[in-house]
């Protein structure tokens, strides 16, 4: 599926899982504000990213920055933070544990 080719990371699979997060519900990739590229996770960005990590400022939460690895739907940050851990397009479950890491990505 072509939408997954844009996701960077270590051992990224067809649903954007990586070496760090690879349970059945780990299926989102995040566009990093600093480099505007999708990575599977923060650790993949640390290993292979731009080395200039920045979080998304709250006034840019209307921008699309979350990719569902199942259907390729791009969510805005606001949409993602309000989605109750399921894709609004295909209803696939997202890992609710990602919430614990939102400070790494969003202001």
For 22-34, how does the pLDDT look when each residue is reduced to its tens digit (9 = 90+)? 999 999 999 999 9
* DSSP letter (8 states) at residue 77: H
Instruction: Provide the domain limits for residue 31.
Output: 2-104
Q: Residue 45 above 60 pLDDT?
A: yes
pLDDT the model gives residue 1: 40
- Domain count within the chain: 1
C-alpha pair distances (Å), 100 with each of 63, 72, 84, 105, 106: 21, 23, 14, 11, 12
CB 68 within 8 A of CB 28: yes
Q: Which element (helix H / strand E) includes 42? A: helix 42-48
Cβ-based burial of 5 (10 A; exposed 0-12, middle 13-18, buried ≥19): exposed
pTM to 2 decimal places: 0.92
Q: Residue 37 above 90 pLDDT?
A: yes
Q: Specify the 3-state DSSP secondary structure of 81.
A: helix
């Amino acid at each position: 599926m072509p939408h997954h080719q844009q996701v960077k990371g270590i051992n990224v699979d067809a649903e954007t899982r990586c070496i760090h997060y690879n349970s059945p519900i780990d299926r989102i990739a995040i566009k990093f504000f600093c480099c505007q590229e999708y990575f599977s996770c923060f650790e993949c960005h640390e290993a292979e990213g731009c080395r200039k990590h920045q979080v998304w400022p709250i006034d840019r939460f209307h921008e699309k920055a979350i990719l569902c690895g199942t259907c390729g739907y791009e969510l805005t940050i606001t949409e993602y933070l309000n989605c109750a851990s399921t894709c609004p397009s295909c209803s696939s479950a997202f890992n609710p544990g990602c919430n614990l890491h939102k400070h790494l990505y969003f202001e």
